[in-house]
Amino acid sequence: MSNSMLLVGTRKGLFVLESGDRRDWTVRGPYCESWPMYHAVLDPESGTIYAAAASEWLGSAIWRSDDLGETWEHSSEGIGFPEGGDLHLSKVSHVMPVHGRLLVGTESAGLFESTDGGRNFSLLTTFEGQEGREAWNDPAQQPPGHLGLSAIIPHPDEQGRFWVIVQGFSLFETTDGGKTFEPRNKGLRRDWPADYEDIGFCVHKVAPAADFERMFQQNHVGMHRSDDGGKTWTEITEGLPTEFGFAAATHPHDRDTFWVIPLDPGHGPPGTQARAGSSSTKGCRARTRTSASSGTAWRSTARTSQGSTSARAPASSSQASTRARAGARSAASSPASPP
Amino acid sequence: MAELHLPPILPPLFPGLPRELEVEAATVDEAIDQLDERWPGMRDRLVEPGPKLRPHINVYVDRERGGLDTVLDPASRVDVIAAISGG
């Protein structure tokens, strides 16, 4: 019996992977008529899968399935910027159930909401008046992928509080349901000229711990930790093989434990970039690093040929002795467990 | 009634949508509006803000490339083509 589900978005549509033991997986798909998939999530309250997809031919839409992927409907009703304005909607990048609402992030950076389960949408904000808005809506100044509003991270208890990422520019927090936003980038590093004091940080992934006061962030130039809900950040990159990466996940109960997959800036495993021009990438394997001490020490984990999880010596301290455990969750990504 | 031919990528998105149907419309724009009334959401699949046809959606009226404002007559054949590329 399946008790784990992974929603995997690809350029050829959405795939649903299921497993009873997290070792052997069944694969269904591709779904959503093979539209390029930017994000998908299972709403644990309704049991509905929502998927944000954008076709080069047919535009953007939010797809939904009430039967775990067997049948699908789609809608883009209301997902669009006002006619005659300066914003162009190239794609829907993210979709997230938030306390009864369905929120959708787009490029250009905009936030839309649905109160009827993804059938009709209305524009919530395009961050008017926010410093840096012209820059992040200029495709020439955007990072690859052109995701715009690339993540929505809801607080589990406070209905009006959530965080959003504007790709390549900022983490923001709102406490009034999306009416106003504050940049949350204090303490983050950036290795490029700054046009704005509070904006211009390349936030890749924010993974909150269970208490939502501690957060971990993988960005373009390092791993960072916050102990105050994102208001301030401290770098914790030391001990990792690279400072770059995208994936990060926190333990569902232990606020000190989380996982990250370091990559080279060329998006390959550590060592790939150093071997540019070489015909061999032997030894360049992406491995998960875990910290059980909120980022003060790291250890590498690797799947053995027998399928068990082993741990290598910690990179910088003997404090990290906890073995990697199953059960990590990804707050703003696809993995989810069905009800 | 103009004769409308649709590309195969559309029917899977709209239950009951045939590949061929007849519409009574004065322009391509009106024909798409009629489709949208019967299959809500159809217009957004074919038309982007402007309004104009999406970049990879082509419409031919009686074998001539057309646009939203192309005039139809009762004997017109309208082909909606999703562009493909590659080699």
What's the pLDDT tens digit per position in A99-118? 999 999 999 999 999 999 99
Which residues of chain A are within 8 Å of residue B83 when distances are taken between CB atoms? 57
Q: CA of B55, closest CA in chain A: separation in Å? A: 7
Which phi and psi (to 5°) does residue A149 adopt? Answer: -80, 100
A172 has a pLDDT exceeding 70: yes
Which residues of chain A are within 8 Å of residue B49 when distances are taken between CB atoms? 80-81, 83, 88-89
Q: Which residue of A has its CA nearest to B83?
A: A57
Residues 6+ apart with CB under 8 A from A144: none
Q: What is the ipTM of this complex?
A: 0.93
Please give the mean pLDDT across all residues of chain A. 86
A329 has a pLDDT exceeding 90: no
Cβ A58–B9 below 8 Å, yes or no?
A: yes
A338 has a pLDDT exceeding 60: no
A309 has a pLDDT exceeding 60: no
Give A194's pLDDT tier (boundaries 50, 70, 90): confident
Q: CA of A76, closest CA in chain B: separation in Å? A: 7
Residues 6+ apart with CB under 8 A from A229: A173, A184, A212, A213, A215
Poorest-confidence range of A86-90, A120-124, A150-154, A300-304? A300-304
Give the one of B12, B48, B82 whose C-beta lies nearest to A59's C-beta. B48
Q: Please give the domain boundaries of chain A with CATH numbers for all domains.
A: 1-201 (2.130.10.10), 204-322 (no CATH)
Identify the bridge partners of residue A15 per DSSP, sorted by sequence position: A8
Can you tell me whether residue A336 is helix, strand or coil?
strand
Cβ A59–B45 below 8 Å, yes or no?
A: yes
Cβ B45–A58 below 8 Å, yes or no?
A: yes
Which residues of chain B are within 8 Å of residue A56 when distances are taken between CB atoms? 55-56
Give A302's pLDDT tier (boundaries 50, 70, 90): low
pLDDT at residue A173 in the model: 98
Cut 0.90: pTM above it: no
Inter-chain Cβ pairs, chain A and chain B, closer than 8 A:
37
A273 has a pLDDT exceeding 90: no
**Mean predicted confidence (pLDDT) in B77-87:** 86
Residues 6+ apart with CB under 8 A from A321: A292, A314
A16, A335 contact by CB (below 8 A): no
A278 has a pLDDT exceeding 90: no
Cβ A81–B49 below 8 Å, yes or no?
A: yes
* Cα A263–Cα A268–Cα A271 angle in degrees, nearest 5: 75
Q: How far is CA A58 from CA A65, A128, B55, in A?
A: 19, 28, 9
A313 has a pLDDT exceeding 50: no
Torsional sign, CA A214, A218, A219, A224: positive
